[in-house]
Amino acid sequence: MTTSLLNSVRLAALLALVSASAVATADSFDAETYHRDTCMRCHGTDVYTRDNRRVTSYPALQAQVARCDANLGTKLFPEDLGLLVDHLNDQYYRFAN
């Protein structure tokens, strides 16, 4: 094999591994476990159920979860953020989306 062909094959293999890793990570995300292990380290569920809660709509919930992700530096995939938002909405908020 020529050097350029070998490099192309290596690059293709690397891209396939990275893509497969990203898909596996997104598919294996468990919002309930993540919430329990990560979110609950900073606060309890009372922030979702108190009378004066800050989050009062589905878009506000999306924004708050994104803020928490940014503040913690966890850099969740957008799909995982969506799963986490849906989990919180299903369990606590029940906003129409």
Q: pLDDT, tens digit, for every residue of 27-47?
A: 699 999 999 999 999 999 999
Q: What is the pLDDT of residues 6-27, one digit of tens each?
A: 445 454 444 454 444 444 455 6
The two tokens of residue 91 are: 């369990």
Model confidence, pTM: 0.70
68: CB partners within 8 A, 6+ apart: 39, 42
| Alpha-carbon gap, residue 56 to 89, rounded angstroms | 11
Q: How far is CA 29 from the centre of its chain?
A: 8
Q: Is pLDDT at 5 greater than 70 in this prediction?
A: no
Domain boundaries, the chain: 30-93
Q: Is pLDDT at 84 greater than 60 in this prediction?
A: yes
| CATH no. for 30-93 | 1.10.760
pLDDT of residue 11: 46
pLDDT of residue 97: 84
